[in-house]
Amino acid sequence: MPTILITGASRGIGLEFANQFTADGWTVIGACRNPGEAEPVSAIGGIEVHELDVDDGASVMALKQALGDRRIDVLLNNAGIIGQRSGFGTLNYDAWAGAMNTNVFGPMRMAEAFADNVMASNRKQMVFISSRMGSIAETNPNAYVYRSSKTALNMAVRCMSIELAGRGLTAVLFHPGHVSTDMGGASAPVTPLRSVAGMKQQILGFTQADNGRFLTFDGDEIPW
């Protein structure tokens, strides 16, 4: 069966991805900062849970060493933070740098570390949870920190998708919707179940022709 590696697997969208891919019979490797406190993901039958802090290059390389040369059909970069919510005139540059480290550098650390594992698989897919808040075409004057981090992620993944296309990579960015998670809030209109089901359906159908796309969870194209 195919294998998926999910970052930020202990809660929210990551946890729902782990649930749904496990139910489909996939081998699921769930990575999170504190596996000892990640009871919901640990309770999923058959899942592997590993410690990972995407902010820390040494932690990423420790996971790479633990997994060795195992084939990974889908690397799903889900871990992320909202960062500072307020805007101009109150910007906290340390918080901004922290959001860039988690939301941009973290996924790219994972992509570089596990590129050979992905390329050795049948699917050769990398999926990145972004946000349409990172779309320059749809910009609104708020959430400077989160928006800019997702815009930077979009550019980095777009560059990588072009550079590694010759190796057969399919790299896709998703807007998961405004999801009712700890980050999105309990009143958000999209449930994790619906969001992940929509993204999973697309992942299962992707071909290399989808490389470099920026999509909503229900399949619409998002302007850059």
pTM of the model: 0.95
**pLDDT, averaged across the chain:** 94
The per-residue pLDDT for 114 is 98
What is the tens place of the pLDDT at every residue in 118-176? Answer: 999 999 999 999 999 999 999 988 899 999 999 999 999 999 999 999 999 999 999 99
3-state SS, the chain, equals: CCEEEEECCCCHHHHHHHHHHHHCCCEEEEEECCHHHCHHHHCCCCCEEEECCCCCHHHHHHHHHHHCCCCCCEEEECCCCCCCCCCCCCCCHHHHHHHHHHHHHHHHHHHHHHHHHHHCCCCCEEEEECCHHHCHHHCCCCCHHHHHHHHHHHHHHHHHHHHCHHHCCEEEEEECCCECCCCCCCCCCECHHHHHHHHHHHHHHCCHHHCCCEEECCCCECCC
The per-residue pLDDT for 40 is 85
The per-residue pLDDT for 42 is 78
The per-residue pLDDT for 49 is 95
Please report, for the chain, the start and end positions of each structural domain, with discontinuous segments joined by +.
Answer: 3-216
The CATH class of 3-216 is alpha beta
Intervals of the chain under pLDDT 70: 182-186
